[in-house]
Amino acid sequence: MKMAAEEPQAKKPKLEQNQLSENVLFGMGNPLLDICAVVDKDFLDKYGLKPNDQILAEDKHKELFEELVKRFNVEYHAGGSTQNSVKVAQWMIQSPYKAATFFGCIGTDKFGEILKNKTEEAHVDAHYYEQSDEPTGTCAACITGDNRSLVAHLAAANCYNKEKHLDLEKNWKLVEKAKVYYIAEAASLAREQGFETEDIKEIARKAQALPKVNPKRQRIVVFTQGKDDTIMATENEVTAFPVLDSDQSEIIDTNGAGDAFVGGFLSQLVYDRLLTECIRAGHYAASVIIKRSGCTFPEKPDFH
């Protein structure tokens, strides 16, 4: 990566030696518009929701999202696992804006327009494939007291068309500009690969050793386990990293912790920093997000 050119008048604090360019991080996944509101028990009962749950929307939930907006005071956030991680990475990076790029599919509707505005506010360079067959994916966060009942309607998020979007020259150029790529939503790896073990360190070791198309770049495997140690497997070793201690009374919402960890990790990976530093940033980002409602954060990080 090119070094930043020295300015003759540069008597400012020393800048990072490797300044980032726009679109250095690329993420692709299922974009959702998070719609958050404090609701009452009658609303939960009407749609058969438990106070603290996560479900995929069924036919009986079709009217839920519009009713939530009409009846309650809602907050909107750009959501979906990968989009959350990319959003957190951009927050951790701060400058330049649009260091993070995101691709996904939305509908040509009101919620799609709101989602575009929200990713723009987060300074993420989102390029959506827009289609009219399915509405924009949404996730309703129905809050009662300390409980959150999440109802996700993937809809357009499942309709991404590679030929009509990714393969377009202008979009593929953004892919080529990136240095780090993140595409999530992996299934249960151990069962899928037939590892026949539940030991998290052993699973990490076996996952790291799986065949790889590009042998020149070693695979790094990182598993988070909530409040338990984060596990990292490299070619030579498996290491456990304790997470940051948090006062239990300060924890509000742990749903976005994993996405936030990834975002923090990626924010340092794009600088080619040590993996231990990437994990430290991931733990920091997760520790911030769990003290807030939804995958949200203050204006600037306090990570050094």
- From 229, 259, 272, 302, active-site residue: 259
Distance CA 205, CA 233 (A): 6
Token pair 């998020």 in the structure block, residue: 157
pLDDT digits (tens, 9 = 90+) for 16-58: 446 899 999 999 999 999 999 999 999 999 999 999 999 999 9
Percent of the chain's residues with pLDDT above 70: 91
- Phi/psi for 146 (5° steps) reads -90, 5
pTM (2 decimals)?
0.85
Average of pLDDT values for 174-197?
A: 76
Answer whether 124's CB lies under 8 Å from 102's CB.
Answer: yes
Please confirm, yes or no, whether 229 is among the known catalytic residues.
Answer: no
